[in-house]
Amino acid sequence: MKITGKRLRPLFGAIAIVGAASVVLAGCSSSSSTSPTKSAAAGDTSAVISTNGSEPQNPLIPSNTTETGGGKIVTSIFEGLVSYDAKGATVNEVAKSIKSSDQQNWDIKLNSGWKFTDGTAVTAESFTKAWDWAAKFSNAQSAGYFFSNFKGFDAAKDSDLDLTVVSPTEFKVALTAPQADFPLSLGYSAFYPLPASFYKDTKAFGQNPVGNGPYKLKSATAWTHNVGINLVTNKDYKGKRKPVNGGLDIKFYTTTEAAYADVQSGNLDILDAVPASDFATYKSDFPNTNANQAAAIFQSVTIPSYLAHFGEDKEGKLRREAISLAINRAQVTKVIFQGTRTPAKDFTSPTIDGYSGSLKGNDVLTYNKTKAKKLWAEANAISPYSGTFSISYNADGDHKTWVDAVANSISSTLGIKAEGKSYPIFSALLADESAHKMTGAFRSGWQADYPSLYDFLAPLYGTGQGSNYGQYTSKEFDNYMTEGSAKTTVAAANKVYQSAQELLLKDLPAIPLWYSNVTGVWSTKVDNVKFGWDSVPLYFEVSKK
Amino acid sequence: MPSSPSQLSADHFVADLEETPIRAVDAVDESEKPRSSWTDAWESMRSRPLFWISGVLILLIIAVAIFPGVFNHVSATSANLNNSNGSPRAGHIMGFTYQGQDVYARLIVGARASLTVGILATLICTVIGIIIGALAGYYGGWLDAVVSRIGDIFFSIPTVLGAIVIMTTIPNRTPLTVAVILAIFAWPQVARQMRGAVISAAATDYVMASTALGVSRFRILIRHVVPNAINPVIVIATVSLGTFIVAESTLSFLGIGLPGTTISWGNDISSAQTYLRTAPLPLLWPAVALSITVLSFLMMGDVVRDALDPKARARR
Amino acid sequence: MVWYASRRLLQLIPVFFGATLLIYFMVFALPGDPVAALYGDKQPSPEVIAQVRAQFNLDKPFIVQYLIWIGHLFQGNLGTTFSGIPVIDQLKQAFPITFRLSMLALLFEAVAGILVGLVSGLRRGKIFDNSALVVSLLLISVPTFVIGFLLQYFFGVKWGLFSTTVSAAAPWHELVLPAIVLATVSFAYIVRLTRSSVAETMNADFVRTATAKGLPRRRVIYVHILRNSLVPVVTYLGVDIGSLMVGAIVTEGIFNIQGVGGTVYKAIQLGQGPTVVAFVAIMVIIFMLANLLVDLLYALLDPRIRYAK
């Protein structure tokens, strides 16, 4: 019969292994790690590290790479003006200095001596031409919007950015408004330089990119679609991310479960995403070679302001607060996620500079049954609520379990009907979100492109912003964003952003849930595995025994 | 009596009535009701313990599906994460799911949706498949060509694609919707099976004999060909009842099956799969229920098949 | 017979167009905008999305899109994915692997299924029959992903007998374990079908005649009973080829195989019409050829069946 289970079972998630055998395996690995290999632990600088990845959605052009599959490769083969250290602080790379007196007109000086792997020099033009190209409307680059605050940017027609090349090692950028965290954003892949050869044949470049990063493609055909990509160390690399290994084999997996099994059997060195099925056991499977740390990923449930009973009025605010108080974040992260999520205390992430876990009013993010019921009753006094509170999610991601748990928490606390509502594919959910046709709340999340509070706030809650699917509008919030950008230091700007967050904690356009941790495991053959602020392992530091 | 064959003569070929008196066994009891093949089948089934065992099991499963309240008094939806994957204890004999819901309660309540999907999908695709397959196999020619090729097209459509399209155009997903979707993409299997068996059966001597006797073609199809070709379809139908219930689980997991709020064995199997390694019980119980259901229908299918086949009956 | 076969091959043409039109329409009918979905939670400007839509002809009416696709097809161009990979490359990558995998699975389920079913049918109600029933029941009601992961864990991770995942080249020996997993559910069907068919054939007159003639039991079983019982089994196998090829989504995911099932599933999720329709078109052709083969086998297995015209 055609409809056998096997025909349909999903790609995502959810596969597991029975039994105590894993304990045996764990025992093996710990004993081997104590074996006398200390002398070799310094690492073999020619050894290649294998790690998990996924097929890039687009050709490997930095300004068109905004998803993690391609991102992991692009950040390994390119180097920007600055790079980020493990904590997300910027380190100068190609840039010698990035200066401005008004936070609006920036003067960027470059170090000389940097080369692309085709031998051409990295100059000011490598940046200005690349940025101009990326911002051009007709090139339809997915990261094109990163240039929207550049003078000369036009979202609807081709135009030139206002960039001035002073000398091969200096250029100037003019923004439309002050932006204090501009240097912070420059480590993002949209701002990487491109060699002259790129413009001759962009199509060929996308398959065999030429960069200036710590690694380069092993050969012109190193990228085998759907299978993986082989990178080797770039000997000419002049930056701070100098690899101590010989290269990277990024293997593409359709499920992280398969990748996990490969690490277990020694076929893969590093996995940076433990599947849900192994949350409970990854620590015993890999007792000394696992990581679970906060990452710059924020997850929430957005309640659109057009939803009946949840408008931006008194009733709506009461209900939003009640819903937030009714979610037992501590319990859900502990039981459902086995501690691989951290309950949210704000709208950003603890790995971001300026983060505060003690914002005024963040007690609304702590489970409080009595207060939740009281507020819900007050809202009912204004206008009685009958119906089902639904939380929509796309079924082709890994969301059902936590959505159900959150709905159950709301339901049992407030005594109302609450349930998860699944959309078969992501595009269907997105279509309803964009058309403002949601009939309930929906899951939402944000992964930072660069380590800044602003990046977590303005695109999501600013009036009319592309990702503001909840249709939140607040003059006060918008003012905070403009005000923060104009500050001369990041610290001063962050203060303003914190005030903006305190406003959000009152209005609750989205209900913060938790920060997604990065959970990784690796084999005992590799050493010194650390994860960056963006959840990607710092591959260049990894050594192989 | 002549002792040598050569002495046989036509006059003596038929024995005189007096020589072979009517024995009791040959006597016609005119007071008895005429026996149809159905009564024969019933007689045959009645005498087999397998029939009674599977019959009782099926009745029990159906009773659970219709009156879940009789078998269960615990809420199947109330969830408490403190009980997540909890072990069995008094009042909760099968333990708890990952969300902290009572496994036994969900098993009982979920029977209805699962059985509805399984039985409806099986019925729909079997009926469509039998009709189309029988006509195609028996009449052949252009009818066969058209019908078989439509089957090929349907069969090549990935079920996932069909289900997503249909499920997103139909707002209210019920067990019936899921059953229809499963059946739409499964009938060609039954049809081909039926077609093959009909082609086989149509080539047998008794069909030729009936044709020679001048019985109408359609009548032959109904009276002789189909009953002799139904065997593989019964097998397919009884097995697919189970696979449909499992397939529903997969559709649910993809978000294109029953809504998450509808409790079903399939939904629970798909939710429990992630935690199989640490908590196998919430997956085991619905799978066991599924096995028992399939087993009872398989056994019943076996008995019915035997009973309908006069040759198998004779051998017993 | 040659005439029959060539007529069947001619039917490929209308079926090809019917199937591709239908599939193209279904992909078109998928909800939402596949281009917008490419960008995830971070949407570029609507103008950028509109431009990419135009680039892939997604802004045109359905029938125009289909005709463009057909036009390109006749020029030997099957289109590209959103990421610029030619669909033809996807076909070249996925089909050989899937072909090897499904042939292995077909071999396993046919050999094991027919053998077990034969013995079960000959000894109905005996201990072997009952154990076979229990095993096939388990295979039906325990989902493939459970069986797949148990096998992967014990044979791959723990005992190291097979590789845990399949490498890019997907050589035959690495596909053995996935093929067994893939074959499990069909195995149950084939056991039941063979068993029932054998039980029925055993009562047939020609078997009684053969036995009465004093033919050796082996000959009666293999030549008379088995051969005449194979029609339903062969029918099943013919249809199952397709299920094995497109239906391997889970198995492919478990063992990280880059085959047809996973590629089509991903393309459906991403709304990539050219990929889906190209794969399905080839599936239709494979189906029709498999079914033709099955029909020709009927005549071979059962000499009474003749294809008149």
| Contact list, A2 vs chain B (CB under 8 Å) | 155, 159, 185-186, 188-189
Q: Which of A64, A254, A297, A516 to mutate to test the interface with C (most CBs of C within 10 A)?
A: A254
Query: pLDDT tens digits for C20-49?
Result: 888 888 888 887 788 887 777 677 777 778
Which long-range contacts does B47-56 make (Cβ < 8 Å, 24+ apart)?
B48/B303, B48/B306, B50/B299, B50/B302, B50/B303, B51/B300, B51/B303, B53/B296, B53/B299, B54/B295, B54/B296, B54/B297, B54/B299, B54/B300, B54/B303, B55/B300
**Residues C224, C149 share a domain:** yes
Phi, psi of A393 (to 5 degrees): -150, 160
Q: Which two tokens stand for residue A253?
A: 């997996």
Are the C-beta atoms of C65 and C273 separated by less than 8 Å? yes
pLDDT of res. B38: 64
Cβ separation A8–B247 shorter than 8 A: yes
Cβ separation C140–B203 shorter than 8 A: no
Sheet strands (E) in A37-113: 48-53, 82-84, 90-92, 95-100, 105-110
Is C155 within the bounds of a domain? yes
pLDDT of res. A35: 36
Q: Which residue of C has its CA nearest to A206?
A: C84
Cβ separation A16–B236 shorter than 8 A: no
CATH of the domain at C234: 1.10.3720.10
**Angle, alpha carbons B79-B80-B85 (nearest 5°):** 95
Is C69 within the bounds of a domain? yes
Helix/strand/coil for A216:
strand
Q: Beta strand pairing status for A417-423 and A388-394? A: parallel
Cβ–Cβ contact A155 with C under 8 A = yes
**Residues C277, C149 share a domain:** yes
**Residues C236, C121 share a domain:** yes
Is C83 within the bounds of a domain? no
Of B3 and A329, the one with more pLDDT: A329
Query: pLDDT tens digits for B149-168?
Result: 888 888 778 777 888 788 77
**CA A97 to chain CA centroid, nearest Å:** 27
Q: Which residue of C has its CA nearest to A252?
A: C256
Query: pLDDT tens digits for A46-62?
Result: 889 999 998 888 889 99
What are the CA-CA distances from residue B13 to residues A223, B19, B65, B298, C78 (Å)?
92, 12, 66, 51, 80
pLDDT of res. C196: 85
Cβ separation B168–A428 shorter than 8 A: yes
Contacts of B290 (CB under 8 A, 6+ apart): B114, B242, B245, B246, B265, B269, C141
| Contact list, A262 vs chain C (CB under 8 Å) | 164-165, 256
Is C82 within the bounds of a domain? no
Cβ–Cβ contact B154 with A under 8 A = no
| Contact list, B188 vs chain C (CB under 8 Å) | 239
**Which B residues in the span 177-206 are in contact with A, Cβ-Cβ below 8 Å?**
182, 185-186, 188-189
| Contact list, A396 vs chain B (CB under 8 Å) | 254-255
H helices of B87-173, in order, are 103-139, 141-156, 159-169
Cβ–Cβ contact A261 with B under 8 A = no
Averaged pLDDT for residues C90-106: 91
pLDDT of res. A192: 96
Q: How far is B236 from chain C (nearest CA, A)?
A: 7
Instruction: Look at A188-202, A328-342, A344-358, B42-56 and tell me which has the smallest mean pLDDT.
Output: B42-56
**Residues C121, C218 share a domain:** yes
B-C C-beta contacts closer than 8 Å: 161
Is C226 within the bounds of a domain? yes
Q: Nearest by CB to C143, which of A9, A156, A262? A: A9
Contacts of B40 (CB under 8 A, 6+ apart): B307, B310, B313
**Residues C110, C13 share a domain:** no
d(CA C135, CA C142): 10
Q: How far is A413 from chain B (nearest CA, A)?
A: 11
DSSP run (H or E) holding C258: none
Cβ–Cβ contact A421 with B under 8 A = yes
Q: How far is A167 from chain B (nearest CA, A)?
A: 56
Are the C-beta atoms of A254 and C262 separated by less than 8 Å? yes
Residue A119 has pLDDT above 50, yes or no: yes
What are the CA-CA distances from residue A210 to residues A50, A229, A352, A368 (Å)?
21, 14, 31, 55
d(CA C261, CA A383): 51
**Other beta carbons less than 10 A from residue B144's beta carbon:** 18
Is C306 within the bounds of a domain? no
Query: pLDDT tens digits for C99-148?
Result: 999 999 999 999 999 999 999 988 887 889 888 888 887 787 777 777 88
Burial C150-181 (b: 16+ CB within 10 A, else e): bbbbbbbbbeeebbbbbeeebeeebbbbbbbb
Are the C-beta atoms of B299 and B52 separated by less than 8 Å? no
Is C157 within the bounds of a domain? yes
Residue A38 has pLDDT above 80, yes or no: no
pLDDT of res. B90: 81
Are the C-beta atoms of B134 and C257 separated by less than 8 Å? no
Cβ–Cβ contact A244 with C under 8 A = no
Q: A530: alpha, beta or left, given left = phi > 0 and alpha = psi -120 to 50?
A: beta
Cβ separation B156–C14 shorter than 8 A: no
Averaged pLDDT for residues A436-442: 93
Averaged pLDDT for residues B247-255: 72
Q: Nearest by CB to C34, which of A224, A264, A427? A: A427
Burial B152-161 (b: 16+ CB within 10 A, else e): bbbbbbbbbb
| Contact list, B193 vs chain C (CB under 8 Å) | 232, 235-236
Are the C-beta atoms of A327 and A513 separated by less than 8 Å? yes
Residue B252 has pLDDT above 80, yes or no: no
Give percent of chain B above pLDDT 70: 84
What ipTM score was computed for the predicted complex, to two decimals? 0.82
pLDDT of res. A17: 24
A neighbour chains, 3+ CB pairs within 8 Å: B, C
Helix/strand/coil for A178:
coil
**Other beta carbons less than 10 A from residue C70's beta carbon:** 14
d(CA A123, CA A109): 10
| Contact list, A18 vs chain B (CB under 8 Å) | 276-277, 280
Which string of DSSP letters, residue by residue, matches A455-515? HHHHHHHSTT-TT-TT----HHHHHHHHHHHH-SSHHHHHHHHHHHHHHHHHH-SEEEEEE
Are the C-beta atoms of C288 and C138 separated by less than 8 Å? no
Q: Which two tokens stand for residue B186?
A: 């499964």
Tokens 């090829």, located at residue:
C245
Are the C-beta atoms of C104 and C179 separated by less than 8 Å? yes
Averaged pLDDT for residues A435-462: 91
Q: How far is A375 from chain C (nearest CA, A)?
A: 32
Calculate the average pLDDT of chain A: 87
Q: How far is A203 from chain C (nearest CA, A)?
A: 9
Cβ separation B153–C284 shorter than 8 A: yes
First to last CA, chain A: 51
Q: Which two tokens stand for residue C36?
A: 């917008």
**Residues C191, C45 share a domain:** no
Q: How far is A510 from chain C (nearest CA, A)?
A: 14
pLDDT of res. A316: 94
A-C C-beta contacts closer than 8 Å: 211
d(CA A364, CA C186): 54
Cβ separation A9–C250 shorter than 8 A: yes
Cβ–Cβ contact B88 with A under 8 A = no
pLDDT of res. A409: 94
Closest CA to C147 of A362, A44, B276, A75: B276
Helix/strand/coil for C69:
helix
**Residues C142, C66 share a domain:** no
Cβ separation B161–C133 shorter than 8 A: no
| Contact list, B311 vs chain C (CB under 8 Å) | 200, 203-204
pLDDT of res. A66: 83
Residue C309 has pLDDT above 70, yes or no: no
Averaged pLDDT for residues C262-283: 86
Phi, psi of A215 (to 5 degrees): -120, 165
Q: Which two tokens stand for residue A10?
A: 């999903």
Q: Which of C52, C102, C153 to mutate to test the interface with A (most CBs of A within 10 A)?
A: C153
Bridge partner list, A165: A171
pLDDT of res. B7: 45
B neighbour chains, 3+ CB pairs within 8 Å: A, C
Q: How far is C216 from chain A (nearest CA, A)?
A: 36
pLDDT of res. C170: 80
Confidence class for position A24, pLDDT limits 50, 70, 90:
very low
Query: pLDDT tens digits for C211-232?
Result: 888 888 888 888 788 888 888 8
**Residues C260, C216 share a domain:** yes
Closest CA to A227 of C92, C304, B86: C92
Burial class (CB in 10 A: 0-12, 13-18, 19+), B103: buried
Confidence class for position A22, pLDDT limits 50, 70, 90:
very low
Phi, psi of A515 (to 5 degrees): -100, 135
Give the domain range for residue C294: 93-301
Residue A31 has pLDDT above 50, yes or no: no
Q: Nearest by CB to B235, which of C193, C268, C304? A: C193
Q: Beta strand pairing status for A247-252 and A223-224? A: unpaired
Cβ–Cβ contact A200 with B under 8 A = no
Closest CA to A58 of C60, C78, C91, C80: C80
pLDDT of res. B129: 93
Q: Which two tokens stand for residue A404?
A: 């159900």
Query: pLDDT tens digits for A514-533?
Result: 999 999 999 999 999 999 88
**Residues C291, C184 share a domain:** yes
Q: Nearest by CB to A258, which of C186, C254, C266? A: C254
Confidence class for position A157, pLDDT limits 50, 70, 90:
confident
Q: How far is B41 from chain A (nearest CA, A)?
A: 28
**Residues C169, C39 share a domain:** no
Cβ separation A140–C55 shorter than 8 A: yes
Confidence class for position B1, pLDDT limits 50, 70, 90:
very low
Give percent of chain B above pLDDT 90: 16
Q: Nearest by CB to A1, which of B98, B236, B275? A: B236
d(CA A449, CA A447): 6
**Residues C107, C59 share a domain:** no
At position C125, the amino acid (one-letter code) is G
Query: pLDDT tens digits for A158-181?
Result: 888 999 999 999 999 999 988 888
Residue A2 has pLDDT above 50, yes or no: no
Closest CA to A496 of A472, A479, A512: A479
In eight-state DSSP terms, residue B260 is: T
Residue A289 has pLDDT above 80, yes or no: yes
Is C307 within the bounds of a domain? no
Cβ–Cβ contact A16 with C under 8 A = yes
Q: Which residue of A has its CA nearest to B276?
A: A16
Instruction: Look at A22-36, A292-306, C62-76 and tell me which has the smallest mean pLDDT.
Output: A22-36
Calculate the average pLDDT of chain B: 80
**Residues C128, C37 share a domain:** no
pLDDT of res. C293: 87
Structurally, chain C folds into a number of domains equal to 2
Cβ separation A425–C32 shorter than 8 A: yes
Query: pLDDT tens digits for A84-96?
Result: 988 888 999 999 9
Cβ separation C283–B168 shorter than 8 A: no
| Contact list, A423 vs chain C (CB under 8 Å) | 31
Confidence class for position A6, pLDDT limits 50, 70, 90:
very low
**Other beta carbons less than 10 A from residue B6's beta carbon:** 7
On the CB side of C208, CA atoms within 13 Å amount to 6
Are the C-beta atoms of C203 and C235 separated by less than 8 Å? no
